[in-house]
Each structure stands twice: as structure tokens, then as C-alpha cells.
Amino acid sequence: MSAPTSASAVDGSDHNPLGLSVELGLDRPIRLDCGVEMPSVNVAYQTYGRLNADKSNAILICHALTGDHYVADPHPLTGKPGWWIDLVGPGKLLDTDRYFLICSNVLGGCMGTTGPKDINPATGQPWGQGFPVITIGDMVQVQARLLDHLGIDQLFCAIGGSMGGMQVLEWCASYPDRVFSAVPIATAARHSAQNIAFHEVGRQAIIADPDWKNGEYLLHDTRPQRGLAVARMAAHITYLSETALHRKFGRNLQGDRDAFSYGFGADFQVESYLRHQGSTFVDRFDANSYLYITRAMDYFDLAAEHDGVLANAFRGTKTRFCVASFSSDWLFPTPESRAVVHALNAVAANVSFVEIQSDKGHDAFLLDEPEFHATLGGFIEGAARHRGLPARVGGS
Amino acid sequence: MSAPTSASAVDGSDHNPLGLSVELGLDRPIRLDCGVEMPSVNVAYQTYGRLNADKSNAILICHALTGDHYVADPHPLTGKPGWWIDLVGPGKLLDTDRYFLICSNVLGGCMGTTGPKDINPATGQPWGQGFPVITIGDMVQVQARLLDHLGIDQLFCAIGGSMGGMQVLEWCASYPDRVFSAVPIATAARHSAQNIAFHEVGRQAIIADPDWKNGEYLLHDTRPQRGLAVARMAAHITYLSETALHRKFGRNLQGDRDAFSYGFGADFQVESYLRHQGSTFVDRFDANSYLYITRAMDYFDLAAEHDGVLANAFRGTKTRFCVASFSSDWLFPTPESRAVVHALNAVAANVSFVEIQSDKGHDAFLLDEPEFHATLGGFIEGAARHRGLPARVGGS
């Protein structure tokens, strides 16, 4: 699912729908927050559009927990359209005619970037639980190496929702000079106790599956599909608002039923929907990756990394921020975004904040939300003007 | 864990901390909503206090999903104090010096009332998945039979929280003349899509456990403990508010840790707490009972049972209602209680409603909540006066 990097790939002229790939760290090992040094890391990524002459039009898209770099291409395993196809394309909000878009699969992922299902060169066997526990900071470090490789000093914009938003915040804290503008969406500067709790339920569901085999399931030719499906089901509830669940399903029975079955089949549409979410997820995601990436989110606490004061993470920042939350998002509720905004205000950062009225819950950032898109469009247009990028009329 | 019923048990003079037991339905089979007739049902119950001469001081306490009839006695398996010990006792809010309190383990339960872990007389083996799927209405029907057995025509009060509140509402709809006053707490007239979804996650966690063995685990001398623990963990999150989780645990690490372990052990206190909730639950609860009782809650929809109009369930009611919700309860949020109140208002019922300000979430109904207790005390005192029961001063 990956093709070798080429000069033409970097300038975007030969966009490969299957994605690109590069081995990083060969010159300088990647030192992780846990203390482990990775001698090299393979990074799968995708680019859209063309990098301009002064390399000032690059936008890094950071994906969420179960996302990947197939932002605007069909997913190679599921065939489904890219997860942000609504936003990314010629003439769209993230305009591939004007910007050079980059998205890489995160460290620890399972879509081409080195993760627990890959071969540990030291043993010749899959990493499994031998893979080092990673952090959001580690993911961002690898992305920074990718930018080095692509010869990009500064991003015009870093943008992402949920865990993607955590990466955006980490970028702004760790590489402030490399981010001209930043859009953290439906996210938080730290994972809450409730969110850690939900993640822990998912992890325990996987670990409880005998097919997990202490994480060495690939060696045993098994996969903890039942546990992973339960983990996905639990998580999926948190991505939707109660209102959205009620509107979509209510207490409706499945189409072929006009009365209760008085059994444990999926009587209700919402049950059938959740089961479907669980069973399709296991076809595209690795259980160990799920463990590692949820752990990275749980560990994320930007204030703790800066003497307990979130504002310290942004002191001296010149980045222009647009922080967005959704009113019905109970996984990353608006107060989490407000805490980020307050910290940015405390250091007199350039920040705009909007709480989008939506009843779609956390997943709203992936959906067609006109007010959100209008806000985002206005911010990016303004940032482009300040960056000296050509205006929309006339093209790039 | 049960003792034979005796006359002296009925009048409460020889309260047995291990509980009482009676076989019901021998005279007349119990016809369930699913159409199955149960030839007889064993009911485990507990009483506190003494029934007065005109049998007008009986209070039925209805327990929640994982509750039981050990309301004010130590739990025989865990040794923990009764789940409503704060409310039940001499001189307490549910005053055992004045009232005759009854609580029975629900049909389908695992603490003495007939449920899936008991022997199916037709096969001589545990019911397992052969147990009929039950409803809240079935549970209440069995409770009504218990009252028949005890010679109680009318309850002074039916009270319960969560699933207990569903039973209270069902009581008022199905046996309006038998309930003088009713206190449905932190409950709803129907289970929401989100709540069904959470229950389905729990059920799938159990069913995914290979030790579940299609529900016949007792025949195989196994128990799906890992699946049941995950189900409990997921459910437990819904019982607490985000605020309560944050206050209790925040992102605190376990006592013996001053830094991340960079592993999948329980770094955070909230993880350790959840794991503990899961692992202790399996010692006291039967996995199939969990399936059946959650299903009963999912099926509950009082309006649907009355031509889609909730008010129809209460038409002509003479019962005095006190409906209570908690402001931070997101499992049974206040609008669910309000829907009940509106329906009661529509039939000009005698109803008082209070939303208790609390940040403790759904479990607040089990906890020391002074405002809740004051409201409840006032309502019961007033109802007792209307019922002609002796006032508090002077005793019963």
C-alpha cells in the first residue's frame, strides 16, 4: 500500500492514491519519550497538490485515533472515500490547487507507518507488545522528520480533529517556529479521566480476548477480533451525541421486525448499527495499534509537560490559532477547547475560537457542518493573506 | 441464602439478615410478556419493620440492574453494607419503626429469585439461554404476586432508582389501585438509544467471551468473567458524571507511581478503579442475569405499551408521585424525568418533581445527598399523613 518516495511525489505532481512511503531516522535515531531509540521508522503518507517555490503553502493534516493518511483517496482496504474528502480537493476548503497537503499515518499506526504489527528488525518477528509505548509528542517528532525530508521548514497550517488536534497543539508547543497557523478541532490539551476510562474499557476488551495472546497474536495466526469489535462499539457511542443517536435510531426496531424477538439478536437498529461498526472496524485496524494509540492519547497532557501551566506551552508563540469545538461533543466538550483558548489568551496569542452549534457530537468534525466549514474557510483565507499566499481569486 | 417464609417473617418480627424466600405461581402460572408460562417462580426477598394491623404501611423498594434485596443487610457474598443502608433503618428516612419495607430480587436475577443460573425443572439443568426473555412488566407481576402472598392489597409507597424507578412506573401503570404513593428516581419511561447502545456493548463483551459458551457456561464449569468485567467497566462509567470522575481521580497516577510506566498496566487511578469494579463484580453477579436484565431495561417503553401516549399509562391514577432526577445524571438525564412529569400533569395527577443539584451523576441516588433525602423525607411524611399513618412524633 505504499510506493517509494520520489522527487516528483514531493512536488505533488504525481499524486499516488495508494500513498507514499519513506524510511526516516537512518541518519539520526528517533529518541522516543519513553527513552527507547528507534533506529529507523517507516512513514506512510499522502500528499495532495503542489509545494510552491518558497515552500510556504504546506498544510499538515493530523489524523484521529483510527484515521489514516487516506484523507481524500479511497481507503485501500475498505474502498470507502477519504475521511476528509468533503474538505480536501481542487477548489475545496483545503484547496489542492493552492496548498500542498500532507498527511502521514501516525507512529504506532497500522496503515504503513511503523507500528506493532510490523517486523522488529532486532528479532525478525512482529513487534507486538515489544513495541515501545509512544506519545503524541513522538508522533509529532516523526511528522517533523517527515517535513525535514520534504524540505519544508515551516507549515502554513497544522490542522486536525480529536487526536489530530492533540498533535496540532503538540506541534505548536514543540516546534512553534514551524507552524504559521494551527487549527485544533474538537480536542483538548489533556485527556480527561472519563476519556481515559473509556479507553481503558476498550483496551481491557482487547486484552480479555484469548486471541490477543499477550499481544503476540500474529505469531499464532489469530486476531482478537471480538475484543477489538467491542472496543470499537464502546468508543463509537462516545463519538455521537445522545441527540444524534436518538434522531438516527431512536428505539426503532430493525426493518424486518415489527415486534421484540424476546432474544439477544439485534432487535433495535442502534444495536445492529453498533455491531456493524465493530465488525467492519476489525477488517481495517490492528488491535495492538489500538492499544498503543489510545495509550498515547491518555498520556497526553500538555500542561504537565510545561510545569503544570498550559500557557507555558505557548509562551512566545507567533502562530495564529483557530480553535473549534462542537456544542454536543461530550467526548471533547467545549470547556476543553476553552481551556486551550484561555492559555493562548494568557500569552497574548493570536487566537479565534468558535463553538459550532451542532447536535452531531464529536464526529461532527468529520461531517458536513456548514458553519464549521465557513469558519474554517474564513480563518484559512485570512491566514493565507497574512502569509503572503496568493488570494483565492486568480488561483495559486 | 434464603430461609423459609413464616408468619413471623411477614410481620417483620424475626427479620432474617440472610433474606426470605417463597415459591410463587404454584396456584396460577405466571404468564410472561414473551408468552411463556412459568409454572412457578422462586422469589428471594427481604423485609424490614412490621406490617401494621390494616396493612397500610408497606413500602416496596425496587432495586436497580445489579442490585438485590440486601437493602440494609450486609451482602452475603461481598459482606458490604446494604445498598440503601443510609435510608433504611430505625428512625431513618425509610423508618423501619414506622413502615414495613419489602424488597425482592427481580425475576431473572441471581440472588435467589428464579433466573438463568437456576435449574430449569423441565430439563434438570441450568436455564442458561433457555430462560425466557423477561420484561420490567414481568418483574413487577412477580412482585405483585409476592404482595398477594404477604396479604398486602395496597402499597403505601413504591420507590426505586434507575431500573427500580422503571418498576415503580410500571407498578403505577399496571396496578394503579395498589400504589398509594410512588417515588421513581433517576429513571425514565423508556430506555434511550444511547442507553440501549451501552447495554449492547456490555452484552457483546459477555457474548464475545469464549467462556460464555452460548450461555451454557455452568454446564462447562466456566464463567465468562473477563467479558462480564468489561461489561461492568463500561456501564460503571455511565453511572458517574465526568465531574465526579475528575474530582475523584483526575489524571492522578496510582499511589506507587510518580511517572508513566510506558506500558499497559493501570498507570492512572481511574484505570485501577475501573478494573477493580470489573473484577469484584464478577464475584457477585451472573453473566446471563446481566444479559436478561439489561434486555428487560432496553425493552421498557411505557408509552409504547399504551398506544404511544405516555399519559395513557397513568390515566385515572390516584397515586401521589414524587419524581426526582439528578442534574449531572447523563444516563437518565432530567428531561427523561420531565417527560414522566408532563405525562402525569396531562392526567392531572398529584405529582411533585425535583431536580437535585448534584455532580455525582446517576449513582447519586445511592449516595449521601442531603437535598435528595430532605425532599424524599418531606414527600413521604406528607403521603403518610394523607394515608392516615401515625405522624413521626410519637412513632408508629
Q: Diameter of chain B by CA atoms?
A: 67
Distance from the Cα of B289 to chain A's closest Cα (Å) equals 13
Q: Is B362 on the interface with A (CB under 8 A)?
A: no
- The CATH number of domain B195-294 is 1.10.1740.110: yes
> For residues A30 and B240, what is the distance between their CA atoms, to the nearest angstrom?
41
Which residues of A participate in the annotated binding site for substrate? 232, 363
**DSSP-derived 3-state class of residue B324:** strand
Q: Hey, what's the cell of A388? A: 503572503
> For residues A292 and B282, what is the distance between their CA atoms, to the nearest angstrom?
27
Instruction: Tell whether the model's pLDDT for residue B366 goes beyond 70.
Output: yes
Burial of A391 (0-12, 13-18, 19+ CB in 10 A): exposed
CA nearest B161: which of B65, B280, B243? Answer: B65
Instruction: Tell whether the model's pLDDT for residue B4 goes beyond 80.
Output: no
Instruction: Tell whether the model's pLDDT for residue B388 goes beyond 80.
Output: yes
Q: What is the DSSP string of A195-237?
A: HHHHHHHHHHHHHHSGGGGGGTTTTTT---HHHHHHHHHHHHH
- Is the alpha carbon torsion for A357, A361, A367, A373 positive or negative? positive
ipTM for the predicted complex comes to: 0.94
Q: Under an 8 A CB cutoff, do A229 and B204 touch?
A: yes
Taking residues B269-274, report their average pLDDT: 97
Q: Are strands A88-89 and A94-95 parallel, antiparallel or unpaired?
A: parallel
Q: Hey, what's the cell of A312? A: 507555558
Q: What is the mean pLDDT of chain B?
A: 94
Q: Hey, what's the cell of B373? A: 433525602
Which residues of B participate in the annotated binding site for substrate? 232, 363
- Give the pLDDT score at A393: 57
CB pairs < 8 Å spanning A and B: 157
Q: Residue type for A216, please? A: E
Residues on chain A touching B203 (C-beta within 8 angstroms):
264
- Give the pLDDT score at B156: 98
**Contacts (Cβ under 8 Å, ≥6 apart) of A207:** A227, A291, B264
Model confidence pLDDT, tens digit, residues B200-245: 999 999 999 999 999 999 999 999 999 999 999 999 999 999 999 9
Distance from the Cα of B367 to chain A's closest Cα (Å) equals 20
- The DSSP H or E segment spanning B145 is helix B136-150
A332 C-beta neighbours (distance < 10 Å), count: 27
Residues on chain A touching B208 (C-beta within 8 angstroms):
205, 209, 226-227, 229-230
- Give the pLDDT score at A14: 60
Domain ranges (residues) in chain A: 20-191+301-387, 195-294
Size of chain A in residues:
396
Q: Is A308 on the interface with B (CB under 8 A)?
A: no
Mean pLDDT by 10 residues, chain A (396 residues): 40 73 93 95 97 97 98 96 96 96 98 97 95 98 98 98 98 98 98 98 98 97 98 98 96 89 95 97 98 98 97 98 98 98 98 97 96 97 96 57
Q: Under an 8 A CB cutoff, do A246 and B198 touch?
A: no
Strands (E), chain A: 3-4, 20-24, 30-31, 37-38, 41-48, 58-62, 88-89, 94-95, 100-104, 119-120, 125-126, 155-161, 179-185, 320-326, 350-356
CA nearest A104: which of A182, A19, A165, A35? Answer: A19
* Contact between A43 and A18 (Cβ < 8 Å): no
Rg (CA), chain B: 21
**DSSP-derived 3-state class of residue B301:** strand
> For residues B246 and B87, what is the distance between their CA atoms, to the nearest angstrom?
27
Q: For B21, list phi and psi in degrees, rounded to 5.
A: -155, 145
Q: How many CA atoms lie within 13 A of A346 on its CB side?
A: 13
> What residues of A are annotated to the active site?
162, 329, 362
- Give the pLDDT score at A384: 98
Q: How many CA atoms lie within 13 A of A6 on its CB side?
A: 11
pLDDT confidence band for B393 (50 / 70 / 90): low
Q: Is A132 on the interface with B (CB under 8 A)?
A: yes
- Give the pLDDT score at A9: 41
Instruction: Tell whether the model's pLDDT for residue B116 goes beyond 70.
Output: yes
Q: Under an 8 A CB cutoff, do B201 and A274 touch?
A: yes
- Nearest-by-Cβ selection for A274 from B197, B330, B333: B197
Q: Residue type for A396, please? A: S
User: CA nearest A239 in B: which residue?
Assistant: B194
> For residues B240 and B74, what is the distance between their CA atoms, to the nearest angstrom?
24
**Assessment of whether the complete model's pTM goes beyond 0.90:** yes
Residues on chain A touching B333 (C-beta within 8 angstroms):
242
Model confidence pLDDT, tens digit, residues B167-186: 999 999 999 999 999 999 99
Which of A34, A239, A251 should we substitute to test contact with B (largest number of B Cβ atoms within 10 Å)?
A251
> For residues A46 and A19, what is the distance between their CA atoms, to the nearest angstrom?
5
Between helix A193-208 and helix B225-239 the angle, nearest 10°, is 170
* Contact between A99 and A385 (Cβ < 8 Å): no
Between helix A269-281 and helix B193-208 the angle, nearest 10°, is 50
Chain A (60-119) residues lying within 8 Å, Cβ to Cβ, of chain B: none
Q: Under an 8 A CB cutoff, do A193 and B260 touch?
A: no
CATH homologous superfamily, domain A20-191+301-387: Alpha/Beta hydrolase fold, catalytic domain (3.40.50.1820)
Taking residues B188-198, report their average pLDDT: 98
Residues on chain A touching B234 (C-beta within 8 angstroms):
201, 234
Strands (E), chain B: 3-4, 20-24, 30-31, 37-38, 41-48, 58-62, 88-89, 94-95, 100-104, 119-120, 125-126, 155-161, 179-185, 320-326, 350-356
**Cα distances (Å, whole numbers) of residue A297 to A165, A183, B232, B308:** 11, 18, 23, 44
> For residues A299 and A286, what is the distance between their CA atoms, to the nearest angstrom?
20
> For residues A1 and A364, what is the distance between their CA atoms, to the nearest angstrom?
29
